């Protein structure tokens, strides 16, 4: 009998078109992804193997989520079908056991799921074998990979979700509960990841994620690219336990359901109230029927009213159903948690501002709202049919549009309830955190207007698709595919070369550059985003209205039997006002789309598409490439005025700029490259003739009548202003409050470093391959003026800056004069001596704060409401200023100014002369949050940035490899020292541990590590993380005094020098000179090679006698070099001990000895010469724990074996 | 008031010809549509009720062309399908209110009074707060009548409403229908001849999509007057009797003999007894023609 049911079921499914639709889509997505990405993959060193175990697992897990969402349509439906078709009444009496019934049903449905799952895996497999895939990103075919993926991960996952769906459907006899059950499980899963992923619960998180994804992430956390590309995922440890746990849970759920299930459960209605047969009162009485008169009214107004009332009924039926209540609860908890927790943005945990409360939960929650919209749209649209009440409803004289409208309104009401969770959660989180600004209007505006119109469009689409689709499952599935389609369209358009399709007007409900959340600043609110947002949303609203009309045409009322009959009905409905409205909406929609496309791509003067940039790069090279190495004079004197008009959003800069030839080369040709995004005029005061002028590239090439010799100068009068803003483009850099304009607006001398880099594009345009200069620090030609990127040099700077009278203007220097004229404020600034060639101009409304330092007055100008971190900014500045001034000498400034600018304009802080433009992000940073224990951002960033006055301004190294370890590495080193001075070494150790982790993670992710002296200029994990850690290690080994004196000598040697400029090689040499011979290896290991340790304490014998510990310790120390992909090597004089290999050792390694209360007794350095060594030590104190390298002075990926004893 | 059906045809995609050029006029009163299962009754009823479209043909209620002016028809229509469900977990009163809104009754007080009345007529007043999905078959059918009456319909279509009702429920149901039919057209389909006999003012017999017979029950019976004869025969002789006579129906007696009823212009022989024709005889004779 089991076999009979099984076979019957399978036959049913094989005849069901849904199975084929699901399979086709789940085949096509992985197939196209694998094929497309392996054909398109670039060349280079950091290639991710598309079909590696890790990558494949990653992709398959994501795509299989699609199958999870539709599991109820298969597994749930296999039993729900019997109920909804009332087959149960017959089945109940058939001679088979519940064992046969349940097993056959589940097994057959699971088989169907398995088939679909196989098509997904086969999609990947075939994709990787297609013609054109690049061997550089595709590993040879390995069946083991696919088998592991299928049978260890995907199938058990489906089994788990399948069992849950099966059980839910059987328990409740309601298939929607299982759809919602899936959504709730996804919420709980991400909730679990979030809660448990934070601190110390990683293993629990890995175990509790039913998909095993977190476990895998855990396992490969520090894998290098090499390992990720070539290693199999080990099914051991936490991954194995995870698999066993969830398989067991699946079995338990099945058993529970098996025990609980009774056949008669089908028949007895859970919610049946016992209703007594009514009293036989008028049983056989004959009535003289006289129905009370009831007037009917079918006016439009009344139908609208009716639609509203009907929507309330539908809405209530959603709200007061327990599945929805569960979603509200789970979703509410998730939202609140995300708001409370607030994952750090740019590494910074912020205070719970309203914009954060609105933004943080949306990323995940908007997907939940969408899923629920898709599902409930179906439930509402099929409500009559599912409850078999459709015949009663369809024959009532209510117009279809009123009925449809009522469904739409009910759906929107549901969305608004979900959005309200964000408000409630946000306010709770703010109350808990003691945040005292309750910006209700901000909440309401963003949730119910901005997000509201976004979700309404989805609701309209959902209504439309469900109206068209043949059944609910198909509609739901199609709807889930649409956001995926949105994501896939741009790369596909790119691939087939149809650039127009990349536009957002083809991605339903999308807005260019605004994805889910909004940028918001206390200074200027949403800024120019809103115009863009509303323009696009107006377009999508037209689309939505069109969709609703189409939904109306397709509205299922009564029954049709053939496609042509249905089509005839649709055509017959498309007439009169409906047809006109649809036509009109369509025209408006297309017209708006065209306008948006036009505005987006052709109206703006300051926004460039990829094609524009390619074209500019191409012309730059073709027409002006021969001027690439032309030597140009350097800027030395600026005398200018800057007028900012916040209300009109415009600025005007005028000034004369003097340049000097600092080289022995004779300069007669000057290339002026004007900003591509502003209106610029230049007048050279010396006599000259123009030989080329290009309006697109904005070049002016002139030949001077009198060539410039060493020390000769020219002066150029420059005027710069902005293009006016357009509908979709914010061309001006001026905003209503908090303007920051940087010197990017100024013309520069020499051609731009803009060349086509993609080899394919170069070939297409007939350009020879561009040889990239290796910017080797040992190449002396790169260390002077001749190398264009070295724009070092100091300038004299004077500027009168003005703004509207309600704002304050800022630029670098000391204020000479403040005047008011014509309702405008003028500040006259002049630099005290020379400053580095970097300029900013700012304007806004601020509150001013002051503090005194040992050497300078400190001023801070910030938004009046953001009084959270004042003291930390000043503390950071003071600690760093004191440390640097004491070691390297004082700065020439009397006053340092921190001036805030909106985070919508950037998240950086910098220092130009004595002006520090500082992003709002740091003013909203929550330094009390536990996640900020380690990084007190305002303190750290202030300390770091001010250190640049010495390490970037005083010493400005050549722009070659390794240069930034001198600027960023030193700035971070000084920030570390500032933390140590202000707080304690424990806090610093935490900071450095975190830095270690970041370095290890980023080197694994990016797989482009080099030795520090060759670190590329944009490599943050080397220039910041590793360099500062290495310098700190030297200061510990050599002593702070010895190292800092060496650094001071270096600083003094290169301070404001003429070329050749400093390089990383010089920097390391200064350190090396101060290093004793026994430690010279360390300088090499740290700076000139990639060196990592793998250390372990093998055994420890302790004999404690009268408070003295006699220790016998057995160590295994290995050291290796790594290449950029993480491959180990050991040099020529390889040390070997059994399996273990190492570089030759003569290393001094620190050991920490702790007593039973875990306080440090002593740090002792042990000299290591072999892989395995034995040491006898005598320590005064009761040693109960020993740690290798307790202060994280050395680099090691794995520190598991570094400890002995109990913590 | 008259409902005119002209040339109505419907063939389903699987080839079943459900209606084959049906022509019939129905006037005020109770109209019984009699026919075996699968005769096309439901198709005809659903087509009149605007739930599906015919391939060809016209249905007119007075001057409303129901295919073109569905809404005008729905405004005066009361429809009780053969089988229907209701939204779960919603009380009879609320559900009637919902349907009354759909039927365009906008005044709250008018809605309330007509709902109260309909509940009273169908004897559901005590159960009005209970969820309809928990009702027994009879109660649900009564609910069906209640919802049907909400808009004071002029055309009422009830599709096999008495199936599954106990005799008392059935009687009350028919009484209510009969009462309604004094003011409206009530079309009432059934395969139970007894439902029609006493109540209907007009009737038709439908089989395989064709109207076989259309008259009032009395006229139908009177046409067979003197042509129906009966006789007890043994089980074994049934086949030969069927060969020999026009057997309309046959039924077992307690002694395992069989009573046959035949149609014949005169008594075949003395063993047959002439009896008064019933509507059932009309039905079978029509089917067998």
Q: Is A355 helix (H, G, I), strand (E, B) or coil?
A: helix
Residue A935's pLDDT is 81
Residue B50 to residue A275, Cβ atoms within 8 A:
no
A387 touches chain B (CB under 8 A): yes
Residue-averaged pLDDT of chain B: 89
Instruction: Please give the Cα distance from B1 to B7 (Å, whole number).
Output: 20
Within 8 A by CB and 6+ apart from A530, the residues are: none
Query: A275 vs B53: CB contact, 8 Å cut-off?
Result: no
pLDDT mean over B91-119: 92
- Give the pLDDT of residue A613: 87
Contact at CB, B176 and A287, closer than 8 angstroms: yes
Residues 291-310, chain A, touching B (beta carbon < 8 A): 291-298, 302, 305-306, 309-310
CB A502 within 8 A of CB A490: yes
- A317 vs B: CB within 8 A: yes
Shortest Cα–Cα distance, B42 to chain A (Å): 12
Q: Which of B98, B142, B148, B176 to mutate to test the interface with A (most CBs of A within 10 A)?
A: B98
Reported ipTM: the value is 0.91
CATH numbers and ranges of domains, chain A = 2-266 (no CATH), 302-603 (no CATH), 1090-1207 (2.60.40.10)
Q: Sign of the CA dihedral B152, B154, B159, B165?
A: positive
**Distance between CA atoms of A1042 and A1047, rounded to whole angstroms?**
9
Global pTM?
A: 0.85
430-469 in A: which are within 8 Å (CB) of B? none
The more confident residue out of B133 and B44 is: B44
Chain B nearest C-alpha distance from A400 (Å): 10
- In angstroms, what separates the C-alpha of A482 from chain B's closest C-alpha? 31
Tell me, yes or no, if A565 comes closer than 8 A to chain B by beta carbon.
yes
Which residue of A283, A286, A394 is in closest CB contact with B51?
A: A394
Answer left, alpha or beta for residue B164, where phi above 0 means left and psi between -120 and 50 means alpha.
Answer: left
Chain A residues lying within 8 Å of B102, measured CB to CB:
306, 310, 393, 396-398, 403
Please name the residue of chain B whose CA is at the shortest distance from the CA of residue A270: B134
Q: Cβ(A231)–Cβ(A1127) under 8 Å?
A: no
Q: For residues A324 and A317, what is the distance between their CA atoms, to the nearest angstrom?
A: 10
Distance from the Cα of B99 to chain A's closest Cα (Å) equals 7
Nearest CA in chain A to B86: A389
From chain A, pick out residues whose CB is under 8 angstroms from the CB of B85.
Answer: 387-389
**Contact between chains at B87 and A389 (C-beta distance less than 8 A):** yes
CB contacts, 8 Å: B126 with chain A: 278-279
Which residues lie closer than 8 Å to A100 by C-beta, 6 or more apart? A1, A2, A5
Please report residues of B whose CB lies closer than 8 A to that of A272: 133-134
DSSP per-residue letters across A211-231: TSHHHHHHHTTT--HHHHHHP
- Minimal Cα distance from B14: which residue of A? A561
Q: Which residue of A has its CA nearest to B175?
A: A286
Q: Do B104 and A302 touch (CB under 8 A)?
A: yes
Q: Is B134 in contact with A397 (Cβ distance < 8 A)?
A: no
What is d(CA A1076, CA A981) in angstroms, rounded to the nearest whole number? 27
Which residue of B104, B131, B133 is in closest CB contact with A397? B104
How far is residue A333 from each of residues A186, A210, A929, B267, measured CA to CA in Å?
A: 13, 20, 20, 87
Helix A300-319 with A400-433: angle, nearest 10 deg? 50
A–B interface: beta-carbon pairs under 8 A: 172
- Using CA atoms, how far apart are residues A833 and A797, in angstroms rounded to an integer? 8
Find out whether A303 and A402 touch, Cβ atoms under 8 Å: yes
Given this model, what pLDDT does residue A269 score?
47
B51 and A559 in contact by Cβ < 8 A?
A: yes
Q: CB pairs under 8 A, 24+ apart, for B251-260?
A: B257/B232, B257/B233, B258/B232, B258/B233, B258/B234, B259/B230, B259/B231, B259/B232, B259/B233, B260/B230, B260/B231, B260/B233
The string of DSSP letters for A1029-1082 reads HHHHHHHHHH-HHHHHHHHHHHHHHHTTPPSSPP-HHHHHHHHHHTS-GGGHHH
**How close B180 gets to chain A, by Cα (Å)?**
7
The rounded distance, in Å, linking the Cα atoms of A79 and A90 is 14
Contact flag A294-B107 (C-beta cutoff 8 Å): yes
Residue A473's contacts (CB-CB under 8 Å, 6 or more residues apart) are A18, A70, A73, A77
- Taking a C-beta distance cutoff of 8 angstroms, is the pair A7, A99 a contact? no
> Which of B103, B135, B136 lies closest to A396 in CB terms?
B103
Residue among B139, B263, B285, B121 at smallest CA distance from A286: B121
8 Å CB contact of A277 and B136: yes
**How distant, in Å, are the alpha carbons of A96, A750, B159 from that of A786?**
91, 11, 97
Residue A706: phi and psi, rounded to 5, are -110, 110
A522 to chain B nearest CA, in Å?
Answer: 49
User: What is the Cα–Cα distance from A929 to A352, expressed in whole angstroms?
Assistant: 11
pLDDT single digits (tens) A1072-1120: 999 999 999 999 999 999 999 999 999 999 999 888 999 999 999 999 9
**Two tokens, residue A147:** 């088998």
User: Are A389 and B139 a contacting pair at CB < 8 A?
Assistant: no
Residues B107 and A267: their CA atoms lie apart, in Å, by: 40
Q: Residue holding tokens 């409906």?
A: A578
Q: Kindly state the tokens that stand for A775.
A: 């910017």
> Given an 8 Å threshold on Cβ–Cβ distance, is A286 in contact with B175?
yes
A397 with B130: Cβ contact below 8 A: no
Q: Which residues of A touch B13 (CB under 8 A)?
A: 561-562
Residue A167: CB atoms within 10 A of its CB come to: 23
Alpha-carbon span B104 to B94, nearest angstrom: 15
What domains appear along chain B, each with residue ranges and CATH number? 2-76+153-216 (3.40.50.300), 90-145 (no CATH), 224-288 (3.30.70)
Q: How far is B35 from chain A (nearest CA, A)?
A: 22
Query: Contact A560/B52, CB-based, under 8 Å?
Result: yes
On chain A, the residues whose CB falls within 8 A of the CB of B117 are 291-292
- CA of B201, closest CA in chain A: separation in Å? 18
Q: Which long-range contacts (CB under 8 A, 24 or more apart) does B263-272 make?
A: B263/B224, B263/B227, B263/B228, B264/B227, B264/B229, B265/B227, B267/B229, B268/B229, B268/B244, B271/B231, B272/B229, B272/B230, B272/B231
Residue A829, strand partner residues: A799, A815
A279 touches chain B (CB under 8 A): yes
Considering only CB atoms, which chain A residues are within 8 Å of B51? 391, 394-395, 558-559
Identify the closest residue of chain B to A569 by CA–CA distance.
Answer: B53
Question: Are the C-beta atoms of A807 and A825 separated by less than 8 Å?
Answer: yes
Q: How far apart are the first and last CA of chain B?
A: 32
Query: Chain A window 391-410: which residues touch B at a Cβ cutoff of 8 Å?
Result: 391-399, 403
Interchain contact, A298 vs B104, CB within 8 Å: yes
CA distance A401 to chain B (A): 12
Smallest CA–CA distance, residue B74 to chain A, in Å, is 5
Q: Is B81 in Cβ contact with A391 (below 8 Å)?
A: yes
Q: Taking 90 as the threshold, does the pLDDT of residue B199 lie above it?
A: no
Cβ contact, residue pair B104, A562, below 8 Å: no
Average pLDDT for residues B133-157, to the nearest whole number? 89
Q: Does the distance separating the beta carbons of B175 and A392 come in below 8 Å?
A: no
Q: Residues A1168, A1095: contact at Cβ < 8 Å? A: no
Q: What is the pLDDT of residue A345?
A: 60
Residue A418 CB neighbours (<10 A): 24
Residue in B13, B94, B180 nearest the CB of A561? B13
CA distance B275 to chain A (A): 32
- In which residue ranges of chain A is pLDDT below 70? 41-46, 89-90, 92-93, 194-200, 264-287, 342-347, 931, 1206-1207
Residue A774 confidence (pLDDT): 83
Q: Check A395 against B50: CB less than 8 A apart.
A: yes
């Amino acid at each position: 009998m089991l076999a009979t049911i099984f076979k019957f079921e399978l036959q049913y499914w094989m005849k069901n078109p849904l199975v084929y639709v699901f399979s086709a889509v789940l085949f096509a997505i992985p197939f196209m992804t694998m094929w497309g990405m392996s054909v398109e993959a670039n060349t280079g060193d950091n290639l991710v193997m598309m079909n590696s175990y890790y990558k494949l697992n990653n992709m398959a897990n994501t795509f299989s989520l699609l199958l999870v969402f539709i599991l109820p349509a298969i597994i749930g439906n296999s039993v729900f079908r019997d109920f909804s078709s009332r087959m149960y009444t017959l089945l109940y009496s058939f001679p088979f056991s519940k064992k046969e019934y349940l097993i056959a049903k589940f097994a057959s449905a699971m088989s169907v799921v398995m088939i679909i799952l196989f098509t997904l895996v086969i999609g990947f497999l075939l994709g990787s074998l297609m013609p054109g895939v690049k061997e550089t990103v595709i590993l040879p075919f390995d069946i083991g990979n696919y088998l592991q993926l299928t049978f260890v991960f995907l199938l058990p996952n489906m089994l788990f979700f399948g069992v849950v769906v099966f059980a839910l459907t059987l328990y409740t006899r309601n298939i929607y509960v299982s759809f919602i059950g899936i959504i709730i499980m996804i919420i709980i899963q991400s909730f679990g990841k979030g809660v448990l992923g934070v601190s110390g619960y990683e293993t629990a998180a890995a175990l509790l994620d039913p998909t095993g994804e977190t476990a895998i992430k855990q396992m490969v956390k520090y894998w290098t690219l090499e390992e990720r590309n070539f290693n199999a995922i080990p099914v051991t440890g936490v991954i194995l336990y995870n698999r066993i746990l969830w398989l067991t849970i699946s079995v338990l759920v099945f058993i529970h359901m098996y025990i609980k299930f009774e056949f008669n459960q089908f028949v007895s209605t859970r919610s049946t109230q016992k209703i007594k047969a009514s009293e036989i009162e008028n049983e056989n009485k004959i009535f003289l029927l006289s129905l009370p008169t009831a007037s009917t009214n079918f006016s439009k107004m009344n139908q609208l009213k009716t639609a509203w009332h009907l929507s309330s009924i539908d809405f209530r039926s959603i709200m007061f159903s327990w599945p929805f209540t569960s979603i509200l609860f789970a979703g509410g908890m998730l939202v609140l948690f995300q708001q409370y927790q607030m994952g750090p943005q740019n590494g910074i945990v912020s205070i719970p501002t309203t914009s954060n409360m609105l933004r943080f939960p949306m990323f995940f929650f908007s997907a939940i709202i969408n899923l629920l919209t898709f599902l409930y749209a179906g439930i509402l649209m099929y409500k009559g049919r599912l409850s078999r009440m459709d015949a009663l409803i369809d024959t009532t004289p209510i117009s279809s549009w009123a009925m449809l409208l009522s469904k739409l309104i009910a759906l929107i009401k549901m969305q608004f309830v979900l959005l309200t969770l964000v408000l409630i959660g946000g306010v709770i989180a703010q109350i808990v955190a003691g945040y005292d600004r309750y910006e209700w209007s901000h909440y309401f505006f963003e949730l119910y207007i901005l997000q509201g119109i976004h979700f309404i469009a989805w609701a309209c689409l959902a209504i439309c698709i469900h109206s068209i689709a043949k059944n609910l499952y198909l509609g739901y599935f199609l709807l889930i595919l649409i956001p995926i389609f949105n994501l896939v369209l741009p790369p596909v358009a790119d691939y087939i070369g149809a650039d127009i399709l990349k536009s957002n007007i083809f991605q339903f409900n999308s807005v260019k550059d605004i994805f889910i959340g909004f940028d918001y600043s206390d200074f200027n609110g949403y800024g120019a985003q809103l115009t863009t947002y509303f323009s696009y949303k107006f377009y999508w609203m037209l689309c939505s209205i069109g969709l609703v009309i189409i939904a109306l045409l397709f509205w299922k009322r009564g029954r049709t039997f053939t496609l042509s009959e249905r089509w005839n009905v649709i055509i017959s409905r498309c007439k009169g006002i409906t047809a006109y409205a649809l036509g009109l909406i369509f025209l408006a929609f297309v017209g708006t789309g065209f306008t948006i496309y036009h505005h987006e791509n052709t109206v703006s003067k300051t926004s460039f598409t990829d094609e524009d940039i390619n074209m500019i790069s191409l012309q730059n090279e073709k027409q002006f490439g021969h001027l690439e190495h032309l030597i140009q004079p350097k800027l030395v004197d600026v005398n200018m005025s800057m007028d900012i008009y916040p209300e009109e959003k415009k600025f005007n800069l005028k000034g004369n700029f003097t340049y000097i030839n600092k080289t022995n080369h004779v300069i007669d040709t000057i290339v002026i490259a004007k900003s591509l995004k502003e209106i610029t005029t230049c007048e050279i005061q010396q006599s000259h003739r123009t030989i080329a002028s290009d309006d697109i590239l904005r070049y002016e090439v002139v030949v001077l009548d009198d060539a410039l010799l060493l020390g000769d100068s020219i002066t150029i009068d420059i005027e710069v202003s902005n293009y006016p803003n357009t509908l979709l483009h914010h061309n001006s850099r001026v905003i209503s409050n908090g303007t920051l304009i940087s010197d990017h607006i100024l013309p520069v001398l020499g051609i731009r470093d803009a060349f086509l880099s993609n080899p394919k594009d170069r070939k297409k345009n007939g350009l020879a391959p561009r040889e990239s200069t290796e910017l080797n620090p040992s190449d002396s030609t790169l260390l002077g003026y001749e190398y264009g990127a070295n724009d070092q040099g100091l300038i004299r700077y004077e500027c009168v800056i003005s703004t509207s009278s309600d704002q304050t203007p800022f630029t670098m220097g000391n204020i000479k004069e403040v005047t008011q004229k014509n309702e405008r404020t003028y500040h006259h600034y002049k630099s005290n001596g020379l400053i580095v060639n970097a300029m900013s101009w700012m304007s806004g409304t601020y509150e001013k704060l002051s503090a005194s330092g040992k050497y300078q007055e400190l001023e801070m100008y910030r938004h009046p409401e953001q009084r959270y971190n004042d003291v930390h900014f000043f503390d950071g500045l003071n600690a760093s200023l004191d440390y640097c001034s004491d070691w390297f000498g004082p700065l020439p400034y009397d006053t340092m100014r921190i001036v805030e600018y909106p985070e919508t304009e950037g998240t950086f802080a910098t220092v130009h002369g004595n002006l520090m433009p500082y992003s709002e992000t740091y003013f909203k940073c929550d330094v009390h949050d536990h996640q900020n224990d380690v990084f007190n951002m305002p303190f750290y960033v202030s300390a770091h940035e001010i250190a640049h006055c010495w390490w970037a301004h005083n010493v400005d190294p050549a722009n070659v490899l390794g240069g930034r370890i001198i600027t960023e590495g030193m700035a971070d080193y000084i920030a570390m020292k500032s933390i140590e001075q202000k707080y304690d070494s424990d806090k610093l150790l935490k900071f450095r541990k975190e830095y270690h982790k970041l370095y290890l993670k980023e080197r694994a992710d990016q797989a482009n590590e080099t030795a520090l002296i060759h670190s590329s200029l944009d490599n943050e994990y080397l220039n910041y993380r590793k360099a500062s850690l290495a310098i700190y290690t030297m200061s510990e080994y050599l002593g702070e005094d010895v190292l800092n004196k060496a650094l001071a000598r270096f600083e003094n040697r290169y301070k404001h020098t003429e070329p050749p400029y400093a390089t990383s090689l010089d920097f390391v040499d200064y350190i090396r000179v101060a290093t004793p011979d026994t430690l010279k290896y360390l300088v090499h290991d740290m700076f000139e090679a990639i060196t990592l340790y793998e250390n372990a304490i093998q055994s420890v014998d302790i004999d404690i006698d009268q408070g003295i510990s006699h220790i016998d310790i057995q160590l295994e120390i290995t050291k290796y070099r790594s290449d950029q992909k993480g491959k180990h090597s050991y040099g020529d004089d390889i040390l070997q001990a059994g399996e273990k290999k190492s570089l030759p050792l003569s290393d001094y390694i620190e050991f920490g000895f702790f007593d039973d209360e875990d306080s440090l007794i002593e740090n002792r350095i042990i000299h290591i010469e072999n892989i395995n060594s034995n040491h006898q030590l005598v320590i005064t104190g009761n040693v109960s724990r020993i740690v290798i390298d307790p202060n994280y002075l050395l680099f090691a990926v794995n520190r598991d074996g570094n400890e002995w004893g109990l913590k | 008031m008259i409902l005119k059906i002209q040339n109505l045809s419907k063939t389903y995609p699987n080839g079943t010809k459900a209606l084959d050029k049906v022509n019939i006029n129905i006037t005020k009163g109770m109209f019984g549509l009699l026919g075996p299962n699968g005769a096309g009754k439901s198709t005809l009823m659903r087509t009149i009720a605007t739930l599906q479209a015919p391939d060809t043909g016209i249905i007119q209620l007075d001057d409303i062309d129901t295919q073109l002016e569905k809404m005008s028809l729905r405004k005066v229509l009361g429809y009780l399908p053969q089988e229907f469900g209701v939204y779960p977990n919603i009380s009879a009163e609320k559900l009637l209110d919902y349907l009354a809104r759909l039927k365009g009754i906008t005044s709250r007080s008018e809605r309330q009074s007509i709902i109260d009345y309909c509940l009273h007529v169908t004897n559901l007043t005590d159960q009005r707060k209970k969820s309809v999905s928990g009702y027994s078959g009879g109660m649900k059918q009564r609910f069906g009548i209640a919802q049907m009456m909400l808009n004071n319909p002029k055309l009422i279509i009830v599709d096999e409403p008495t199936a599954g009702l106990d005799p008392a429920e059935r009687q009350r149901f028919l009484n209510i229908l009969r009462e309604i039919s004094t003011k409206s057209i009530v079309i009432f389909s059934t395969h139970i001849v007894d439902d029609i006999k006493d109540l209907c003012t007009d009737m038709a017999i439908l089989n395989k999509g064709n109207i076989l017979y259309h008259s009032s029950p009395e006229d139908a019976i009177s046409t067979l007057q003197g042509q129906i004869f009966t006789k007890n025969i043994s089980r074994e002789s049934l086949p030969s009797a069927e060969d020999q006579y026009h057997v309309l129906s046959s039924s077992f007696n307690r002694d395992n003999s069989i009573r046959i009823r035949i149609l014949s212009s005169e008594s075949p022989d003395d063993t047959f007894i002439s009896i008064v024709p019933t509507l059932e005889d009309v039905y079978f004779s029509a089917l067998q023609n």
